[in-house]
């Protein structure tokens, strides 16, 4: 079955996280509240001169200056802004940084364990065993991604994952982001298949020349989509892959 991926010239399986490898509820109902409830205490336990605090303040300052000049931030103002970002689910690099640090402590203490769908671990092992590389592209920081898969309910899955990409390469709905990932992998886009539960992300990947698969986890309704649709990673190995759209290098 796996030969269909290789026969289509695919060398890398690139995976989204939320709704694809991991239930969306874990991120929104566990991880986000965990960081929100501990955000102020995390800053209170550190001085403004702490290197990590300074890095976060500088990152917030850079983000604010993107829309013009901005006065220096105090720690209290930074906490208030970050709480607003959490409420708005803003894709802020500064927020992703501090969330990753808070989650790192939570995973280390055993407070956090990341659920993954049952078909994920065997698929990672199967694809890797067949000579395919597996990577992650998520809006969560690379640190957050590695923590999630290292401390999963199925054990440490990081040995199966060769690459991690976050929004440092660009937004997930932009074609250029997928072109950059292909360049980082040193592959033509057609050698990569991207699996996600978000149609706009898949459209962008396809526009860049990648193969694209929509993952719809039950009980979610199956939407109209131009990508092949699977409800389990087991189904990916049974797909027949057509040539991706023009745009591949």
pLDDT in the model for residue 73: 84
Pull the structure tokens for residue 230: 């699977």
Total number of domains constituting the chain: 2
Residue 161 sits in the same domain as residue 190: yes
Q: Is residue 249 part of a domain?
A: no
Q: What are phi and psi of 12, to 5 degrees?
A: -135, 135
Residue 67 sits in the same domain as residue 99: yes
8 Å CB contact between 119 and 234: yes
pLDDT in tens, the chain (249 residues): 556 898 889 999 999 999 999 999 999 999 999 999 999 999 999 998 999 999 999 989 888 876 555 677 889 999 999 999 988 888 898 999 999 999 999 999 999 999 999 999 999 999 999 999 999 999 999 999 999 999 999 999 999 999 999 999 999 999 999 999 999 999 999 999 999 999 999 999 999 999 999 999 999 888 877 889 999 999 999 998 876 654 443
Q: What are phi and psi of 163, to 5 degrees?
A: -135, 150
pLDDT in the model for residue 63: 85
Q: Is residue 205 part of a domain?
A: yes
Pull the structure tokens for residue 196: 């996600």
pLDDT in the model for residue 91: 84
CA distance 28 to 18: 9
What CATH number is associated with residue 80?
1.10.720.60
Per the structure, the complete domain to which residue 50 belongs is given by 27-109
pLDDT in the model for residue 242: 75
- Of 46, 76, 109, the position where a domain reaches its end is 109
Residue 17 sits in the same domain as residue 128: yes
Residue 229 sits in the same domain as residue 168: yes
């Amino acid at each position: 079955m796996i030969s269909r991926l290789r026969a289509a010239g695919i060398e890398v399986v690139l995976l989204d996280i939320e709704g694809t490898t991991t239930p969306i509820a874990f991120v929104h109902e566990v991880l986000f509240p965990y960081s929100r409830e501990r955000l102020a205490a995390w800053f209170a336990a550190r001085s403004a001169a702490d290197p990590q605090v300074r890095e976060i303040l500088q990152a917030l300052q850079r983000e604010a200056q993107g829309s013009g000049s901005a006065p220096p931030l105090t720690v209290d103002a930074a906490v208030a802004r970050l709480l607003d970002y959490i409420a708005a689910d803003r894709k802020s690099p500064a927020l992703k940084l501090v969330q990753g640090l808070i989650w790192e402590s939570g995973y280390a203490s055993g407070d956090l364990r990341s659920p993954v769908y049952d078909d994920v671990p065997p698929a990672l092992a199967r694809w890797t065993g067949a000579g395919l590389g597996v990577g992650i592209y998520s809006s969560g920081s690379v640190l957050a991604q590695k923590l999630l898969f290292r401390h999963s309910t199925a054990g440490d899955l990081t040995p199966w994952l060769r690459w991690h990409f976050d929004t440092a390469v660009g937004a997930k709905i932009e074609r250029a982001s997928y072109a950059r990932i292909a360049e980082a992998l040193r592959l033509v886009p057609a050698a990569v298949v991207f699996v996600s539960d978000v149609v706009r992300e898949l459209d962008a990947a396809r526009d860049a020349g990648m193969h694209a698969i929509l993952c719809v986890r039950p009980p979610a309704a199956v939407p109209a989509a131009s990508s092949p649709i699977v409800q389990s990673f087991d189904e990916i190995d049974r797909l027949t892959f057509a040539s991706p759209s023009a745009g591949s290098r």
